[in-house]
A and B are shown apart, each in its own frame.
Chain A
Amino acid sequence: MIYILQQALNALQLGSIYALIALGYTMVYGILTMINFAHGDLFMVGAFFCFLIAVYLKLSFVPTLLLSMLGVASLGVIIERFAYKPLRNAPRVSAIITALGVGLFLENFTLALSPYPQHIPTLINSTTWNLGGVSVSSLQIIIIVLSLALMFILDFIVQRTKVGMAMRAISWDKTIVPLMGVPVNKIISLTFAIGTGLGGAAGVMYGLAYPVIDPYMGIMVGWKAFISAVVGGIGNIRGAMIGGFILGSVEIMVAAFLPSTYRDVVSFALLLILLIFRPYGILGKPHPQKV
């Protein structure tokens, strides 16, 4: 029982990181119907920003997190402006291939600057408590609480603010939105900033939990987060959060009870099975476009 509780806590930590990254995939898909396959690598860049800021500017956790998020968000906006925007009316396949290219560029650019894995210094002096046999670290609590807080803020923005309303309108039909007086390009840039910023935050938190970082760390995590977004229903914000926690739980539980090498097989099998029975994901709906 205690073992299961311990694993549930681990699942919550991993799940919240997947959920944060999955949000970036789902937001971009929602407004542009493209999969930003560079998103996992932006997560990696977030971890590297964290490393650079912590080592060279010697800032503490909160400013490091905020600056890293800002850095990744700016990079996301620049990538959208120069790599994706010219392809907005091109077939989606072209945009997706471009995204893969951007991802490879980010990996290799980082590799060129940092050929060896780096170690993120300790930003949070984590204390570990023993609660009836379950060990809980303050770092774990910070990661989970902070991720949930970011998700609540995002959900509020999307559901309750005028900007969020514009984002939802764009996801329905972006050709009509300018006729409402809404500057579509600005909203798309903002969506990229928020989505990639959350990915950057996930990179920082992942880097604190697993401090050895390398330019390829975003690939597998990115795929897992992408699966999370699809499992939850791509384009659906709450679905991405749910999908992240499901995938985190599945992985941790598989590793806890089965040989840990089964972990990735099970994640990808989950995606394949789900796609057969519920191709739109858990919360996704087939988009009934009235003509």
Chain B
Amino acid sequence: MNREILLSAKNLTVSYHSITAIQNVSFDIYEGEIVTLIGANGAGKSSTLKAISGLVTYTGNISFRGKELKNIPADIIVAMGIAQVPEGRGIFGNLTVMENLKLSTWQRKDKDKITLDYERVFSLFPRLSERKRQLGGMLSGGEQQMLAVARALMSDAHVLLLDEPSMGLSPVLVRDIFQILREINQAGKTILLVEQNANMSLHIASRGYVLETGRIVLAGTGKELMGNPRIKEAYLGG
């Protein structure tokens, strides 16, 4: 594989005061991949994404298209092309669906393409189109998750970081969301998917990393990891 490395973390360490959340985490994400980072609660998955998005300080390096991201403010990281769908979806309940989408176009100047992107997003999520004028807080959990993904798409990012999109959703909705992620990926977006739901995420991922208590303990292709006895026992329920 001689594809371009898009996003790369080297010896990433994040600590909150004296508590270390992740330690010496390194990974590479290639153009066009879906990479998943799986691990239990508190393994450091969210901290990894927060570091990439510039929400927490860290030691080590993160680079995007060869450019060092350290000390770049979070809003500029979005402008560079990395969007995050945060844990718990992060919908603004006091803003309408349309306003939620509009807000994430903050860094964009390409008016014509924004109009096109609205159409694309609404055809991908027809439910959101029906609820354009409703407040984000009135949506169901599944609709909120769709809005969160739609918002990330509206920022026109090249890389989507998703923090547990399956959380709190019914199995049917989880399948829908993952199907949409696959479509988004096929349409050209690179995805870093953080999940506890190892089964679903390894299924759609080209590669995966397993995070345990802040360290990467295993790495491999989605298939390899699914076949790994240790993964089977700990994450896939035997």
List A residues 160-209 near B (Cβ within 8 Å): 162, 165-166, 168-169, 171-173, 175-184
B94 touches A166 (CB 8 A): no
A181 touches B78 (CB 8 A): yes
Q: A165-B102, A178-B54 are in contact. Are A172 and B74 (CB under 8 A)?
A: no
| In the bound complex, CA of A179 to CA of B56 (Å) | 12
Is A288 an interface residue when CB atoms closer than 8 A count as contact?
A: yes
List B residues 56-95 near A (Cβ within 8 Å): 73-75, 78-79, 83-84, 86, 88, 90, 92-95
A residues in contact with B99, CB < 8 Å: 165, 168
List B residues 128-166 near A (Cβ within 8 Å): 137, 151, 155
A172 touches B93 (CB 8 A): yes
A residues in contact with B74, CB < 8 Å: 178-179
Sort chain A's interface into a size bin. 20 to 34
Is A273 an interface residue when CB atoms closer than 8 A count as contact?
A: no
Q: Is the interface of B mostly helix, strand, loop or mixed?
A: loop
A residues in contact with B151, CB < 8 Å: 180
A residues in contact with B83, CB < 8 Å: 179
Number of interface residues of B (CB under 8 A): 27
| In the bound complex, CA of A224 to CA of B108 (Å) | 43
Residue in A175, A182, A288 whose CB lies within 8 Å of B103: A182
B103 touches A178 (CB 8 A): no
Q: A180-B151, A181-B155 are in contact. Are A173 and B92 (CB under 8 A)?
A: yes
Distance between B9 CB and nearest chain A CB, rounded to angstroms? 18
B residues in contact with A180, CB < 8 Å: 75, 78, 103-104, 106, 151, 155
Q: A165-B99, A173-B92, A176-B90 are in contact. Are A184 and B106 (CB under 8 A)?
A: no
A179 touches B106 (CB 8 A): no
Distance between A63 CB and nearest chain B CB, rounded to angstroms? 34
Q: A178-B74, A179-B86, A180-B78 are in contact. Are A165 and B104 (CB under 8 A)?
A: no
| In the bound complex, CA of A171 to CA of B95 (Å) | 11
| In the bound complex, CA of A168 to CA of B55 (Å) | 20
Is B13 an interface residue when CB atoms closer than 8 A count as contact?
A: no
List B residues 153-200 near A (Cβ within 8 Å): 155
Q: Is the interface of A mostly helix, strand, loop or mixed?
A: helix
Instruction: Identify the interface centre among B79, B106, B107, B151: most chain A CB within 10 Å of its CB.
Output: B106
| In the bound complex, CA of A176 to CA of B90 (Å) | 6
Is A291 an interface residue when CB atoms closer than 8 A count as contact?
A: yes
Residue in B84, B88, B95 whose CB lies within 8 Å of A179: B84
Is B201 an interface residue when CB atoms closer than 8 A count as contact?
A: no
Residue in B90, B92, B107 whose CB lies within 8 Å of A168: B92
Residue in A172, A181, A183 whose CB lies within 8 Å of B94: A172
- Name the residue of chain B whose CB is nearest to the CB of A183: B75
Is B23 an interface residue when CB atoms closer than 8 A count as contact?
A: no
A291 touches B103 (CB 8 A): no
B residues in contact with A169, CB < 8 Å: 92, 94-95, 103
B residues in contact with A177, CB < 8 Å: 103
Residue in B75, B88, B93, B105 whose CB lies within 8 Å of A178: B75
Is B53 an interface residue when CB atoms closer than 8 A count as contact?
A: yes
- Name the residue of chain B whose CB is nearest to the CB of A289: B93
A181 touches B104 (CB 8 A): yes
Q: A168-B94, A180-B155 are in contact. Are A175 and B106 (CB under 8 A)?
A: no
- Name the residue of chain B whose CB is nearest to the CB of A291: B88
| In the bound complex, CA of A172 to CA of B53 (Å) | 20
Residue in B79, B88, B90, B95 whose CB lies within 8 Å of A181: B79
A162 touches B106 (CB 8 A): yes
| In the bound complex, CA of A102 to CA of B88 (Å) | 37
| In the bound complex, CA of A264 to CA of B75 (Å) | 47
B residues in contact with A172, CB < 8 Å: 92-95
Q: Interface of B with A (CB < 8 Å)?
A: 53-55, 73-75, 78-79, 83-84, 86, 88, 90, 92-95, 99, 102-107, 137, 151, 155
13 additional A-B residue pairs with CB within 8 Å, beyond A180-B78, A182-B103, A183-B73: A168-B92, A169-B92, A172-B92, A178-B73, A179-B83, A180-B155, A181-B79, A181-B104, A181-B105, A181-B155, A183-B75, A290-B137, A291-B88
* 10 tightest A-B CB contacts, nearest first: A181-B78, A178-B74, A176-B90, A181-B107, A181-B106, A180-B104, A183-B75, A172-B92, A169-B92, A180-B103
Q: Interface of A with B (CB < 8 Å)?
A: 162, 165-166, 168-169, 171-173, 175-184, 288, 290-291
Between-chain CB contacts (< 8 Å), 12 pairs: A165-B99, A165-B102, A165-B103, A169-B92, A176-B86, A179-B55, A179-B86, A180-B103, A180-B155, A181-B79, A183-B75, A290-B137
